[in-house]
Chain A
Amino acid sequence: MTNDTTLTISRLIAAPPSAVWNAWSVPENLAKWWIPAPIECEVVTLDLRPGGGFVTRMREAGAADFQPHVDGCFLEAIPEQKLVFTTVLAEGWQPAEPWLALTAILTFEARDGGTLYSARVLHKTPEDSAKHDEMGFYEGWGTAIGQLAGLVEPRG
């Protein structure tokens, strides 16, 4: 376990920033990649402006109802450049107590005819999480990082 609670993931995508932004900003496009199949994704709210809501729901194969997935608030939205949302606030800056508090900073940079897409995801420290969690979920359990390696779908 690392103490660093920030994740950074970057990827060069062979398409211009406008195309990547389009995959993010059009609800039916976002629904196609936001959650892995066979889980279905429904984009309920995608209000791309500071204070705008960001709500997605998920439905497992064979289930009747959609369940909560992400319920957050955009903090920044600069078309084709940058998108920031958090789960600590809901639409209209409403404070919330999410199961997993995070802020995601997504950047779209033109690079060699494509786009360097980066996601920086900030989390609270495990200690902070434990304080807020009625389960004391992060206390006293061994970690299982090994079994989580290689989760990524391998592709060029």
Chain B
Amino acid sequence: MVNQQVALDSLFHALADPTRRAVVSRLLKGAAPVKQLSEPFKMGLPAFLKHLSVLEGSGLIRTEKQGRVRTCRVDAERLAAAEGWLSQQRAIWQGRTDRLADFVESQTSPEKTG
């Protein structure tokens, strides 16, 4: 359950970057090799690969190597999960509220009020 919350945060984190959103947007039109994906972006390949690894880590995209070409594709299920954004937000705030209560209650023992 905690892991699922982490997964949510990593999903939103993955989508919080314009380059990464553009990559996902491009992949919605179909799978593409890394080299072709990186072309529109004004950044070095290492920086671009870092973005891809964040996307892959969040489960939003999957990559597959055939010979010397690595192809990326969107994981539609994961993206559909991200689309349930309001329920995701609820989960995030609910988790936050629970952790806040735990934190405060663990700080305040009955014998030292205030």
Q: Which residues of A contact B (CB under 8 A)?
A: 1-2, 5, 7, 9, 11, 13-16, 18-20, 22-24, 29, 32-39, 58, 60, 67-69, 99-100, 102, 104, 115, 117, 119, 121, 123, 126, 129, 133-135, 137-138, 141-145, 147-155
Contacts and interface: CB of A to CB of B under 8 A. Distances in A.
A1 B101 contact: no
Contact of B25 (A23, A123, A135, A149): A135
Contacts of A119: 93, 96-97
B96 A33 contact: yes
Interface stretch (B31-39, B40-48, B62-70, B76-84): B76-84
Nearest to B88: A148
B8 interface: yes
A7 B89 contact: yes
The range of chain B's interface size is 35 or more
The SS class assigned to the B binding surface is helix
Contacts of B76: 141
A9 B103 CA distance: 17
B16 A153 contact: no
B1 A152 contact: yes
A11 B93 CA distance: 11
25 contacts: A1-B86, A2-B86, A7-B89, A9-B97, A11-B97, A18-B114, A19-B108, A29-B103, A32-B103, A34-B99, A36-B99, A39-B10, A58-B13, A68-B16, A99-B15, A100-B89, A117-B100, A119-B93, A119-B97, A148-B88, A151-B5, A152-B91, A152-B94, A152-B95, A155-B98
